[in-house]
Amino acid sequence: MIEVKNLVRTFNSGDRTIKPVNDVSFELEQGTLASIVGKSGSGKSTLLSLLGALDKPTSGDVAVNGVSLASMPDAKLTQYRRRDIGFVFQQFNLIPNLSAVDNVMLPMEFAGMRKAARLQRAKELLEQVQLVPEKHDRRINRLSGGEQQRVAIARALANEPKLILADEPTGNLDEQTGDHIIELLSALCRDHNTTILVVTHDRALANKTDRRFRLQQGRLTEEPVRNRATAAAAPV
Amino acid sequence: MSVLARSVGNAFRNKVRTAAVVAVLAVAIGLALAMLVANQAVGAKVQELNASVGTVLTVNPAGGQGFEGGGEPLTSEQAATATAVPNVSAVVGISSLRLRNAAEAAAQAAGGQTGPGGGQGVSGGQAAATLTTSLTAAVDAGTLGNRNQAANGTTGTTATQPVRSLPITATGIGAEVDTTGKALAITEGNGLGDYNAESTNALLGTTLAEKNGLAVGSTFTINDQTYTVAGLFDAGTTFGNNAVYVTLPTAQTLAGLPGELSSMIVTVDSLEHVEAAKAALQEALGTDKADVTQGQNLETAVSSLDSVKNISYIAFIAALGTAGLIILLIMVMLVRERRREIGVLKAIGAPNRTIGLQFVLEALVLAALGSAAGAVIAAFASSGIASALISTNTTTTAAATTGRGMPGGTGFPGGGPGGPFGGASQLLTSVTASASPDVIVAGIAAVFGVATIGALVPALLTARIRPIEVLRGE
Ligand SMILES: Nc1ncnc2c1ncn2[C@@H]1O[C@H](COP(=O)(O)OP(=O)(O)O)[C@@H](O)[C@H]1O
Ligand SMILES: [Mg+2]
């Protein structure tokens, strides 16, 4: 369960103040697959970074299972990012001189998982996102954008987070792989009761989610999802 | 992939830069090590010089020039005054005489020669009594001596002059020590027993005894008085072995100057007290009455070496500081360059300590490589630097300490700028043999410490800011 209350994030650029996140409030039940759509520059990434504790709101609060992020000390926020959140960045943000498998193992290393166990899990995750085994040990800067995207998704899944925040995860993927990623995310919601919030321009993806939000000039509104079948299957 | 593996990997991420950093670090650390070696080499030299002087001070009459005279003679009362000075453990009175071979003296007198002979101006003074003996000196006058004799001789008689030997030094000693305060090394026979009582026993230098065919129990004369050889000693030098030792009162009686001393050997209880005792002694005896010296002009040599030691120490610190500064700046630069990466690590849940550790390990890898390469450089450079620093100074030292037999004129081992192996072994010996290997440990620890702080501080400062700020960075 994630509760967002009156969240505001302002930036001062010169003498102007911009509000990419302006009084946003919503709640997501555990296991919901939700999407956020909106024009470029509407504040989607900003909102996601607030939910992932990568940034601090100007005002308002995010509560995860009743615990407010605003009240957490830095060490607890680190733990929150490590254990509870899986973040897929718009620009992937992988470590370029490490191999695909090493990148996926990183969050598990920070969580203190043993080396053999994390190597095995990393390889499984890379197979799930359909990265061919020959490329598991390849350095990130020798992988294509689509391949990097899949490594980034695998890394987000590493510590079995309760909440996955994905910023345009299918943006760099061909239709087929994109569809597969959507299947994977839906399956996670179903089987592991993972909450997923995905920012997307992809109509197909947006229509497969349980709930859909639109962000416009910092204001969040919920839209009905056309594909009722998927929505009905999800707990509300 | 562990933190360590990642750090090592990161250290070699940009190979060209890593090579450059290691090279610059190596030069600085190599210089620091070479300076440390030089410092210790000079330190060892200073210690050697000090040890050779030991805890012994020599008191001469103020302005005295030995047999040349000058100043007023020292007295037994002054010996008592010296004994009362704090930290003085022993005072030995010395009365020096010069012996000339009786036959030569007679021949010279017959030849109508006047004035001093043997090129040794005896122009009067407190202890300049010249006596005759049956002994023949073990040292030839040599080219210099003969030239002096010729110059002093009456014109026209040079052709008939017999070949003469140098005078023999006879010293009355108040204890079984030589004129420099060192214990006499008696090789045969016995000492003189009570050195403060008159006696007809004497100690002869080995070469003097040999020259005159004397052994323990043989007799010889000084001023027609017969003396028995009680023992032979080896002073280690030709000059030192051309000597006779008798008891102090015997010498004073022979000279006809009872209660007068030509010099005093004052022993101080420990090396640390030498400086203070020397000042106190000079104060007690009065600058107008006595000159207190430590060895022979050694102080100037020691002090010039000391300044070299200080300079090399400062250079050591400076080079080490440079190494520290290099690694500090490199790490600040590396952390800045990888701000975004730090943000990513933070965003996926890396604790600050993991991020700090990763950069510290990377810095230590660079420092270790720099130190290893620096040690190689030092191995090449230190022998050259150390010998260059010391040899210039030992020349002065050797000159200043004639007759003292300074051990190893160009002392420092290692035979010049030898190959890397000579250099390496020299580095090792001088480092391991040094009195304070903790200095080098401290130095390397300082470099590693600076590396640690240089990596930790910027890494933690970066890790503390919100991940999004660094991620958005570029
Ligand atoms: N650190 C910042 N300083 C100033 N303006 C920012 C900063 N971060 C984002 N913005 C602005 O906030 C707005 C929303 O950005 P973003 O959340 O990235 O949009 P989206 O992801 O929807 O494209 C944009 O106008 C962007 O320029
Ligand atoms: Mg965005």
Query: What is the per-residue pLDDT across B215-242, written as a single tens digit (0 to 9) for each?
Result: 999 999 998 899 999 999 998 888 888 8
Bridging pattern class, strands B201-205 and B225-233: parallel
Tokens of B209: 């005894």
Q: Are residues B195 and B273 in the same domain?
A: yes
Does the pLDDT of residue B395 top 70, yes or no?
no
- Are B260 and B237 in the same domain? yes
Six-digit token string for B376:
């190689």
Average pLDDT, chain A: 90
- Read off the pLDDT band of B114 (50, 70, 90): very low
Q: What is the pLDDT of residues A181-231, one digit of tens each?
A: 888 888 888 888 999 999 998 888 888 899 999 999 899 999 998 764 554
Instruction: Say whether both B44 and B60 belong to one domain.
Output: no
Judged against a pLDDT cut of 90, whether residue A143 lies above it is answered with yes
A49 touches chain B (CB under 8 A): yes
Closest residue by Cα to residue B152 from B113, B201, B108: B113
Indicate the residue among B294, B321, B343 that finishes a domain.
B294
Q: At A180, which helix (H) or strand (E)? A: helix A175-192
Across B203-237, b (16+ Cβ under 10 Å) vs e yields: bbbbbbbebbebebeeebebeeeebebbbbbebee
Ramachandran angles phi, psi of A177, nearest 5°: -65, -40
* SS3 category, A80: helix
Tell me the residue range of the domain where B88 lies.
56-294
Nearest CA residue ID for atom 3, ligand 1: A11
B334 touches chain A (CB under 8 A): no
CB B404 within 8 A of CB B296: yes
- pLDDT for res A141: 92
Closest C-alpha to ligand 1, atom 16: A43
For the segment B290-304, what is each residue's pLDDT rounded down to a tens digit? 888 876 555 666 677
> Are B110 and B199 part of one and the same domain?
yes
B159 and B41 in a common domain:
no
Please indicate whether residue A44, judged by its CB atom, sits closer than 6 Å to ligand 1.
yes
Interface predicted TM-score (ipTM): 0.93
Sole residue written with tokens 């020669």: B113
Q: Where is the domain boundary, B294, B329, B364?
A: B294
**pLDDT one-digit tens code per residue, B79-88:** 888 888 888 8
Q: Are residues B228 and B252 in the same domain?
A: yes
Which of B348, B359, B460 is most worth mutating to test chain A (most A CB atoms within 10 A of its CB)? B348
Say yes or no to pLDDT of B205 above 80: yes
Confidence of residue B65 (pLDDT cuts 50, 70, 90): low
The band of B149, judged by pLDDT with boundaries at 50, 70 and 90, is low
Asked if B248 and B308 sit in the same domain, the reply is no
Looking at ligand 1, which atom is closest to the CA of residue A38? 22
Closest ligand to C-alpha of residue A9 is: 1
- Choose one of A13, A46, A90 to mutate for the ligand 1 pocket test, by most ligand atoms within 8 angstroms of C-beta: A46
Find which of A49, A69, A137 to mutate to test the B interface (most B CBs within 10 Å of its CB). Answer: A49
Both tokens of B105, joined, read 């003296």
**CA R_g for chain A:** 17
Q: What three-state secondary structure class fits A193?
A: coil
* B4 contacts in chain A (CB < 8 Å): none
Which CA distances in Å does B333 have to B232, B280, B338?
75, 59, 9
Place of tokens 């926020």: A77
- State chain B's mean pLDDT as an integer: 77
Specify whether B60 is located in the same domain as B197. yes
Q: Same domain, yes or no, for B95 and B15? A: no
Q: Is the CB of A22 under 6 A from ligand 1?
A: no
Q: Which residue of A has its CA nearest to B355?
A: A110
Tell me if B466 and A78 make a contact (CB, 8 A cut-off).
Answer: no
Shared domain for B273 and B350, answered yes or no, is no
Q: Is B382 or A110 the better-scoring residue by pLDDT?
A: A110
Q: What SS3 state is found at A86?
A: strand
What pLDDT is stored for residue A155 in this prediction?
Answer: 96
- Verify that B253 and B118 share a domain, yes or no: yes
Identify the pLDDT of residue B157. 45
Residue A215 CA: nearest ligand 1 atom is 22
Can you give the C-alpha Rg of chain B in angstroms? 34
Of B250, B271, B294, which residue is a domain's last? Answer: B294
Check whether B347 has a pLDDT greater than 90.
yes
Q: Mean pLDDT throughout A22-33?
A: 94
Using pLDDT thresholds of 50, 70 and 90, give the confidence band for residue A87.
very high
Q: Residue B167: exposed, middle, or buried by beta-carbon count in 10 A (0-12, 13-18, 19+)?
A: buried
Q: Which two tokens stand for residue B169?
A: 């030094």
CA-nearest of B40, B35, B29 to B413 is: B40
pLDDT at A166: 94
pLDDT of B232: 93
Whether B455 and B362 map to the same domain: the answer is yes
Indicate yes or no: CB of B346 within 8 angstroms of CB of A81: yes
Tokens of B271: 């090396």
Q: How far is CA B244 from CA B165, B247, B259, B336, B376, in A?
A: 16, 10, 20, 81, 55
Give the one of A93, A95, A107 whose C-beta lies nearest to B471's C-beta.
A93
Calpha distance B298→B402 (Å, rounded): 10
Are the C-beta atoms of B83 and B272 separated by less than 8 Å? no
CB contact under 8 A, A56 and B466: yes
User: Measured between alpha carbons, how far is A122 from B19 in angstroms, rounded to an integer?
Assistant: 34
B347 vs A109: CB contact, 8 Å cut-off? no
Q: Any idea where the domains of chain A sit in the sequence?
A: 96-158
Q: A147: helix, coil or strand?
A: helix
Query: How many C-beta neighbours within 10 Å does residue A176 have?
Result: 9
Band (B45; pLDDT cuts 50, 70, 90): confident
At B76 the pLDDT is 85
| pLDDT > 60? residue A63 | yes
Q: Residue B350 has what pLDDT?
A: 94
- Number of domains chain B is built from: 2
